[in-house]
Amino acid sequence: MIENPTTITAQPGSPFIEVVREFDAPPARLFRAYTDPELVTRWLGPRDIEMRLIEYDARPGGAYRYVHRDIEGNEHVFRGVFHTVTPGERIVQTFEHEGTPDVVSLDSATFEDLGGRTRLWTRSVFPTVEARDAMIASGMERGIRDAMDRLGELAHDPAEGRPEASRVVVDISMSLDGYVSAPGVDLEHGLGVGGEPLHAWVTDDRTPRDAEILHKSFTDTGAVIMGRRTFDIVDGPKGWNDEVGYGHDQDQIAAPPVFVVTHSRPEKVRLGERFRFVTDGLDSAVEKARAAAGGKDVVIMGGGTIADAFLRAGLVDVLRIHLAPIILGGGTSLFPEGMPESLRLEPLESVSTPAAEHLTYRVVK
């Protein structure tokens, strides 16, 4: 017998679907499972569905879009916009299946505090009774019950959630022979002479899937860390500008702050409002970046030397490599002293596009 059953109500002749479920977890934990992109993929949908987030920006006006892939390989894309996001209390959002673009429902989720437990009330309002009935006929009941059970399992076990502190992520493009830039790096050649193919997945050869990966990384990032050499290049005459910066051509108004690890602050900074300088070590850089990230990822974007230093110091949680199909034969290595013996990796995700293999690993500690 299910300890906390899920009740689904769809009265005949009405355009509503209502769901009620109690959980042995406080509202804050349920709310986080609803709004943290990494946790959402662990429960939203039936157990036999593979879920891939394209974007998930859980704030008023923020958009979401995700793909459900069934066991036969069929993909269904869903999207919507968040309207109300009140921490621990209520979420209101639109919901739309891209296969039926004329049917948009308004969904709400209310988290009722039961003194350490939570009663979750959800209500979906459809444009017509016919649209509601079509949703029921599609098999949504199984999907809801599976999702609520999975949410209960996730919420009941706090160890399954991501730590409150931001993850530290090394995110860097690399050649097949381990170089993150070609020889000849200077202010004129940020990737070295002939190193442009390393970033082809971001620029000339970018596919829609590459664009999804780039945008998700950008929206998941709350703060950035870079080394002094990388700063000198991006703040140089051929570096970043009002349109191009972290995330390449993403909206720079929403760009996260950048923390530069350096021995001394530069005398002049062209893009001064974007950068903060850390002169007291790697641990301090992580502490300051986490304080600014608001729970989002802290991304170490390079260069190779600083990424290697953070990995060797045991400060990295995730290693994300965009492996470009090119052999450089020299340049800046991600591991200039060889692969650290203590570095153990657990694969999390692999996405293949023509210009890169996007590989994500958890750093085992």
| Residue ranges covered by each domain of the chain | 7-160, 168-364
Mean pLDDT of 67-73: 87
Mean pLDDT of 220-236: 93
Name residues whose C-beta falls within 8 Å of residue 169's C-beta, 6 or more positions apart in sequence.
297, 298, 299, 300, 316, 317, 318, 319, 320
Domain 168-364, CATH among 3.40.50.1100, 3.40.430.10, 3.40.605.10, 3.30.590.20: 3.40.430.10
Position 313 scores a pLDDT of 93
For 71-129, write each residue's pLDDT tens digit.
888 899 999 999 999 988 999 999 999 988 889 999 999 999 998 899 999 999 999 99
In this structure, what token pair is assigned to residue 240?
């970043």
Position 159 scores a pLDDT of 52
Among 85-89, 173-177, 290-294, the least confident range: 290-294
With 0-12 CB in 10 A as exposed, 13-18 as middle and 19+ as buried, what is 246? Answer: buried
Give helix 140-156 / helix 129-137 axis angle, nearest 10°.
70
The helix, strand and coil proportions of the chain, stated in percent and rounded to the nearest 5, come to 25, 35, 40
Position 164 scores a pLDDT of 53
The domain made up of 7-160 is a member of CATH 3.20.20.70: no
Position 162 scores a pLDDT of 45
Position 267 scores a pLDDT of 86
Position 259 scores a pLDDT of 95
For 299-316, write each residue's pLDDT tens digit.
999 889 999 999 999 999
- The rounded Cα 259 to chain-centroid distance in angstroms is 20
Tell me the average pLDDT of the chain: 90
Residues in the chain: 365
CB 22 within 8 A of CB 151: no
pLDDT tier for residue 14 given thresholds of 50, 70 and 90: very high
Q: How far apart are CA 40 and CA 18, in angstroms?
A: 20
Position 225 scores a pLDDT of 97
Q: How far apart are CA 106 and CA 98, in angstroms?
A: 15
pLDDT tier for residue 157 given thresholds of 50, 70 and 90: low
Helix (H, G, I), strand (E, B) or coil at 138: coil
